[in-house]
Amino acid sequence: MAKPISLFRRLTGKFRFYNVSNMGESFDKKHETLTLNAERFIPKIVFRRNKQKIPEKFYFHELILQASVRRKLIDILDEIINNFNLDCNVNDFEILGEKALPEGFVDVFLKLKHPIGSNNYILVEVKTGKASKKDFEQLKHYLSEFKGENVGGILVARDFPKRKMLGEDKRIIPVKYLFNSLNIEEEYLYEELLKMLTLEVAK
C-alpha cells in the first residue's frame, strides 16, 4: 500500500482547479451581520507583576522595551555615529528589528541602506535591569561574528556598573534608558510610555 503522503501527492497531482467552479451551489440568500456586544479595549502596561491581568494589562518586559528603543534610537543616533567615527549620517541608516546570528539573536540591528563596498553595522542589545559584565561579553561575542566589516555595539540598560569593572572596549557604547515621571503604581498605554522614554549615552 502506498504511504498516505505519496497517495496525497498523487491525488493532488491530478486535481484541476477549474473543477472547483462545478462544486456546490451558489448562495443567493441574504447575508447576516454578526454583532458582538463586547467593549473595545487597548492593552495597558503595568510595572507591578501582581497587577498583570492578561489580556487587559501586561507586565513590562524586555520585548516592550526593545520595540520602544527601536523607535527612539533615532534621537541619539547622530551622537552614536560620531562616537564610532563613522563617515555617514543618520539618514544613511535603517533601523531593523531582531536579527538572527549564528550564536543567537541581537535585539535591534542597524545597517546602511545603500552600502558601497563594505557595510556599517550597529548591533543593539536591550536589558530592562542593570547591565552586567556578562551582557557586555555577549555583545562582544556578537560583534566578533562580523569579520571584515565596520561594526559597533550599543548596550541599553537601566543602569551600568563602573566602567573599570567592564573593561575598555570602544566598540561598545553603553546607553541608559529612563521613563520620565514614571509612577510604577500606575498603568500606561504603549504610546504614553514611548513619549516618556529617553535614551542617554552613559558617561
Q: Residues 112-153: pLDDT tens digits?
A: 999 888 889 999 999 999 999 899 999 999 999 887 777 899
pLDDT over 50 at 17, yes or no = no
Residue 143, C-alpha cell as written in the block: 560583534
Residues 6+ apart with CB under 8 A from 138: 104, 125
Residue type, 39: E
Q: Are 180 and 196 in contact (CB under 8 A)?
A: yes
- pLDDT computed for residue 75 by the predictor: 96
Share above pLDDT 70 across residues of the chain, in percent, rounded to a whole number = 81
Work out the average pLDDT over 67-73: 96
Q: How confident is the model at residue 182 (pLDDT cuts 50, 70, 90)?
A: very high
Structural domains for the chain: 62-179 (3.40.1350.10)
Cell output for 183: 509612577
Please name the helix (run of DSSP H) or strand (run of DSSP E) that holds residue 45, with its range, or none.
Answer: strand 44-46
